[in-house]
Chain A
Amino acid sequence: MSKPSASHVAALNRRNFMTGTVSAAAAVPLLGSQAKTQEVTQSGARLREPVVTTLRINKQRHELSLDPRTSLLDALRDHAGLTGTKKGCDHGQCGACTVLVDGKRVLSCLSFAVMNDGKDVTTIEGLASSDGKLHPMQQAFIDHDAFQCGYCTPGQIMSAIGCVNEGHAESENDIREYMSGNICRCAAYPNIVAAVLQARGETRGA
């Protein structure tokens, strides 16, 4: 049997898909189309068959053979070896796993890797230039001590870049609001706002 390619399952929503796999016989997952539902549920075994997925991560092509249930987050961490992106809840509630997909911020724990086939993914490891010069947002986080333990920091920085590029960093109140999807349990919030303010000008062009 040939391995399915990512396009077969790319329309799946991760939460529904998980429900489907746990009780595949009982529940019909809510999928994009009825035909796809049939295809998936008729052969439970195929659910677990590796799918070859191509991701362009930090401008490098990665061809990964993945269990189709693999989240983009776990694909980055466990398969591409890029552990800078962090798992804090696996439920899209903390923001630690934020990456940029085609330039937009995405919670990588809420997205199957296969849904991102062929897309451009930028992680924290891809921000500094090859000569080691930090992205202005990274430098601003250092300047303003915008972290303590550092665990939420990759997600905060990726989210901050997304926030600026969305045009949601025009005021301090905007920054607070649009950075509130990223929890910092050490509570460096005022410093994070100061960092985004410092870096927003340079980030827009970066």
Chain B
Amino acid sequence: MDAAAPRPKENQGEPLPRVDARLKVTGQAHYPADLPAANIAYGALATSSIARGKVTKLRLDDARAVPGLLDIVTYGDMDKVDKPKFGNSGATSIGPLHDRTIFHDGQIIALAVAETFEAAEEAAQLIRAEYEEDRPTASFDSPGTKTVAAAGKSPMFKEDVKAGDFDAAFAAAAVKIDQRYSTPTQHHNPIELFSTTAYWQGDQLVVHEPSQNVTGWKVELARQLKMDPANVRIVSPFIGGAFGSKGPMTPRTAIVAVAAKRLGRPVRCVTSRMQAFGTQTYRAETRHRIRIGAGKDGRITAFAHEGWEVTSRPDLYVVGGTSATGRMYGYGSVLTHVSLVQADRNTPGYMRSPPETPYVYALENAMDEMAVALGMDPVEFRRINEPKTEPIGKKPFSSRSLIQCYDQAAEAFGWARRDPKIGAMRDGDWLIGMGCATAIYPTAVAPCAARVRLTVDGDVRLQCGSHEIGTGVRTVAGQMASERLGVAIDKISVEMGDSSLPPAPVSGGSISTASVCSAVLKACDAIRTKLFAAATAEGGPLAGSHNEEFELADGKIVAKSGASTKVEDVLKAMQVGAIEEYAEFAPKGATPEALKKLYAGTPEFHGGEQDEDSVKYAFGAEFVEVRINRYTKEIRVPRIVGAFAAGRIMNTRTARSQLMGGMIWGIGQALHEATEVDRRYARYVNRDLQDYLVPVNADIKDLQVILVPEIDHAVNPAGVKGLGELGNVGTAAAVASAVYHATGKRIRDLPIRIEQLLA
């Protein structure tokens, strides 16, 4: 069996190939900017060259003189449209064309629309702005930033978690560390460019745009355009990478919709890679102070995590990963605090494992430092601090297989062969280092609707307004229907990525598989109930049997006794051509408004730390080997092993691929990714894929993913924990620990680059 299709273990589904694989290898998977629209006009953005101030004058004459130019949408043209709102469906409250105030570099100042892409680009570049410029504030330590506490200020952040008396415990601890860590600005950089295509059919607006949240966008765009949401449709059948960047809608969408209305023609605007850095969201830079105190036996008695995060002037976006780090181990006492630092920057947003990536990096790097301070093996140190209940609310974990993950990954990695002495392991001119870290991600679930139709021909049509961002959600939703209805996967068609379908929550927070599969399960079970009732009715083929004694397999209803009947015959006896069920799934603990909120595009999340009965997380353990050239300090990661437990695995192939991608993201966080900010101008410098470094094929060698079996019925009806974001949590700390092991240098500021090792 090849590595891409791991043999399923207990509670793990078959590694079926993706249902859309053929479309993707033949160029027939149509992403939003591929969808045809007749008589299309092309839009190109003009953006600000200052980060703070006012646009005093726009000179448009040169742009208007470009042959083929059709229109320029700029100040004054959006006055009849409401400003964007900051929230789950909206990236920012900045309405760039509502107001001449400039809040950040690269802010939209106009949209040029022309007959051709070339003419639109030419015109956009000829738009000249005059500014009243103020000195901008770029980031931490810049004069003029404003620092506020996240808790109480931002509705996104509930509280600074705490437990016990940290100060006393830390003062009394026999062994302690007090260190600071930082992570840089990062941009998602999905390979698909951001784009909006809008056209009107009478009073109906259709928007083709890559989206992780078609229902939320429909509602938010309708609000901005003062329309009935029923008249707005967002179409996003395939998404070319998202990683959070396509979760909230940006102001461009409404601008392009207005342009299409003015022209009476479809308008397509594909944002350039460079412009995306300022017009989309990003992961803001963070800073951390961590204090850990422990007894000589290695038991942690005191843990404090303080975080600082950059956000924009108008919007208090919060990462706030202390909720997870404060519950990670059996600390005796916990103290946390999150602060927001406001600067002249575009509003940050969700990027793959938004809170956990920076916060767990800091925690796990500190855990390794603490293990060194204690003279303990880092795996043993974590084993000693494995909790029975989480330290904040003293709730049990619904399931926690962290130690199994450590044991299996350590075994596969060969951790026992590690010589703990610094710099002791070498291969010629290469210093070898080995490190490990914990991965954690909260398991959440949200309400979701799905429509499933089983026809007399044995075909299944499954509709759900979720989003295929590469996770394989189409495939696993189809697998769930296949299993419950006893129909082969190739007889199932799965429709997603359209706001006219039954609503699904935003594809974020690793909730999609759990939420979608729970809804599909509910719809399929309603079909089963109808089928079984008809089959067992008086005069039916299985009359006298009870419903719970049946299974569906290969197009048949099979009773425990062995008696069976064809589904086709039951449907015929019912005198129907199909059974169709529309299911609305609401998780345990959902409020009475939960389904209404789903349709309104503001779904409730449940699980994680919020439930009364238990806290719900997926866990993993990652081990990396680094090799560092003793002369050049070049850093390579030739080997990485991750073991993860995430409840029921729907499909071992797509699960492994997601975790693998996450681990490689983690290597990128450790060694490559950083958006450089020019502090004088509050401007991103490396705004392209040549200078914004991401891992390439040559950066990755031996990578192993272990799927640790785990059963958890408490998380949701499907028993699924999300894993799309789990894989890149902790990885960077494992790399930092390995670098320390090889060199004795503790790098606390990401990314780890050659210059830090030469210093």
| Alpha-carbon distance between A22 and B125 when the two chains are bound, in angstroms | 8
Q: Is the CB of A194 within 8 A of B67?
A: no
User: In the complex, A151 Cα to B586 Cα: how many Å?
Assistant: 33
Query: Considering the complex, which residues of chain B in the window 649-668 have a beta carbon less than 8 Å from any beta carbon of chain A?
Result: 653-654, 656-658, 660-661, 664-665, 668
Task: Indicate whether B34 reaches chain A with its CB closer than 8 angstroms.
Answer: yes
Q: Is the interface of B mostly helix, strand, loop or mixed?
A: loop
CB of A187 within 8 A of CB of B660, answer yes
Are A84 and B4 also in contact (CB < 8 A) when A48-B67, A134-B22 are?
A: no
Task: Tell whether, in the assembled complex, residue A89 and residue B688 are in contact, meaning their CB atoms are under 8 Å apart.
Answer: yes
Contact A150 B470 (CB under 8 A): yes
Q: Which of A22, A89, A150 has the largest number of chain B CB atoms within 10 A?
A: A150
Residue interface bits A130-159, CB-to-B below 8 A is 1, else 0: 000010001101111111111111100100
Q: Which residues of A are found within 8 Å of B189, using beta-carbon distances?
A: 185
Q: Is B459 on the interface with A (CB-CB < 8 A)?
A: no
The verdict on B131 contacting chain A, using a C-beta distance below 8 Å, is no
> A91: which B residues are within 8 A, CB to CB?
273, 688-690
A5-13, A32-40, A119-127 - the one binding chain B? A119-127
CB atoms of B25 and A138 under 8 A apart = yes
Taken together as a complex, chains A and B put the C-alpha atoms of A139 and B24 apart, in Å, by 11
Interface: B759 (CB within 8 A): no
Judge whether A93 and B238 touch: CB under 8 Å.
no
Q: Is B191 within 8 A of A86, CB to CB? A: yes
Q: Is the CB of B190 within 8 A of A185?
A: yes
Q: Tell me, yes or no, whether A27 is within 8 Å of chain B by CB.
A: no
| Bound CA–CA A86/B21 (angstroms) | 17
A148 touches B472 (CB 8 A): yes
A118 at the interface (CB under 8 A from B): no
Q: Which residue of A lies closest to B239 (CB)?
A: A149
Query: Quick one: which of B27, B192, B470, B701 has the most chain A CB within 10 A?
Result: B27
* A180–B27 CA distance with the chains assembled, in angstroms: 21
Q: B701: shortest Cβ distance to chain A, in Å?
A: 8
Once the chains are docked, how many angstroms separate the CA of A6 from the CA of B506? 48
What distance in Å separates the Cβ of A195 from its nearest Cβ neighbour in chain B?
Answer: 9
Partner of B26, one of A87, A88, A127: A127
A176 to B701, CA, bound (A): 8
In B171-194, the 8 Å CB interface with A consists of 188-193
Indicate if the CB atoms of B697 and A89 lie closer than 8 Å: no
B190 touching A194, Cβ below 8 Å: no
Residues on the A chain within 8 Å of B31, using CB = 83, 86, 151
Whether a CB of chain B sits under 8 angstroms from the CB of A81 is yes
Contact indicator B25/A151 (Cβ below 8 Å): no
Kindly state whether residue B3 has any CB partner on chain A within 8 Å. yes
The reply to whether B125 and A67 form a contact with Cβ atoms under 8 Å apart is no
Is B270's CB within 8 Å of the partner chain A?
yes
Contacts of B420 in A (CB 8 A): none
Residues of chain B lying within 8 A (CB to CB) of residue A82 = 27
A188 on the B face (CB < 8 A): yes
Chain A residues near B668 (CB-CB < 8 A):
187
- In the assembled complex, the Cα of A70 lies from the Cα of B694 at a distance in Å of 29
- Range, interface on chain A: 35 or more
By beta carbon, the residue of chain A nearest B702 is: A190
Alpha-carbon distance A149/B123, docked complex (angstroms): 33
Which residues of A sit under 8 angstroms from B30, Cβ to Cβ? Answer: 83
B698 near A180: Cβ-Cβ < 8 Å? yes
Give B359 Cβ to nearest chain A Cβ, in Å. Answer: 22
B471 proximity list for chain A (CB < 8 A): 148
As a 0/1 sequence over residues 686 to 697 of chain B, the CB contacts with chain A under 8 angstroms (1 = contact) are: 001110001111
Chain B hits for A175, CB < 8 A? 697
Contact bitstring B16-46, A, C-beta under 8 A = 1, else 0: 0110111111111111011010000000000
Q: Is A192 on the interface with B (CB-CB < 8 A)?
A: yes
A143 with B68, Cβ < 8 A, contacts A48-B119, A88-B192, A91-B688 known: no
Q: Which residue of A lies closest to B274 (CB)?
A: A91
Q: Given A82-B27, A134-B26, A151-B192, decide whether A185 and B241 contact each other with a Cβ distance below 8 A.
A: yes
Most buried by A among B26, B116, B238: B26
Whether the pair A190, B3 counts as a contact (CB closer than 8 A) is yes
A144 touches B700 (CB 8 A): no
CB atoms of A153 and B24 under 8 A apart: yes
CB–CB A84/B191 < 8 A: no
Q: Which B residues are CB-close (under 8 A) to A77?
A: 34
Residue B240 interfacial (CB < 8 Å)? yes
Bound complex: CA of A203 vs CA of B242, how far in Å? Answer: 32
Please measure, in the bound complex, the distance between the C-alpha atom of A9 and the C-alpha atom of B471, giving whole angstroms. Answer: 44
Q: Which A residues lie within 8 Å of B469 (CB)?
A: 149
Q: Contacts A184-B191, A191-B4, A194-B2 hold; do A138 and B26 have CB atoms under 8 A apart?
A: yes
Q: Contacting B27 at CB < 8 Å: which of A21, A84, A186, A188?
A: A84
**CA of A137 to CA of B469 in the docked complex: distance in angstroms?**
23
Give Cα A139 to B26, complex, Å: 10
With A21-B122, A90-B272 already in contact, the answer to whether A148 and B657 are too (CB < 8 A) is: yes
A182 contacts chain B at the CB level, 8 A cutoff? yes
**Per-residue contact bits, chain A 60-87, to B (CB 8 Å; 1 contact, 0 not):** 0000000101100010011001111111
Q: What CA separation (Å) do A66 and B700 show in the bound complex?
A: 41
| Interface residues in B241-258 (C-beta closer than 8 Å to A) | 241-243
Complex CA–CA separation, A147 to B660 (angstroms)? 11
The answer to whether A187 and B27 touch across the interface, beta carbons within 8 angstroms, is no
A188 with B192, Cβ < 8 A, contacts A124-B27, A150-B470 known: no
For the complex, is A206 an interface residue (Cβ under 8 Å from B)?
Answer: no
Tell whether, in the assembled complex, residue B25 and residue A183 are in contact, meaning their CB atoms are under 8 Å apart.
no
Q: Specify which chain B residues have a CB less than 8 angstroms from the CB of A84 in the assembled complex.
A: 26-28
| A114 nearest CB across to chain B (Å) | 12
Q: A127-B26, A150-B24, A153-B25 are in contact. Are A194 and B3 (CB under 8 A)?
A: yes
- Contact yes or no, A94 B689, CB < 8 A: yes
Which chain B residues lie closer than 8 Å to A96 at the CB level? Answer: 191
Cα A85 to Cα B17 in complex, Å, equals 23
- A148 B661 Cβ-Cβ under 8 A: yes
Question: What chain B residues lie within 8 Å of A83 (beta carbons)?
Answer: 27, 30-31, 33-34
Given contacts A67-B119, A149-B190, A180-B699, 12 further A-B contacts (CB under 8 A): A48-B118, A89-B688, A138-B26, A141-B25, A151-B190, A152-B191, A152-B240, A175-B697, A185-B189, A189-B697, A189-B699, A194-B4
Closest 4 CB pairs of A and B: A84-B27, A151-B240, A149-B470, A150-B24
- Can you offer 7 A-B residue contacts whose CB atoms are under 8 A? A77-B34, A83-B34, A90-B273, A145-B5, A147-B24, A148-B658, A151-B192
| Chain B residues within 8 Å of A, Cβ to Cβ | 2-5, 17-18, 20-31, 33-34, 36, 67-68, 116-119, 122, 125, 188-193, 238-243, 270, 272-273, 468-472, 653-654, 656-658, 660-661, 664-665, 668, 688-690, 694-701, 703
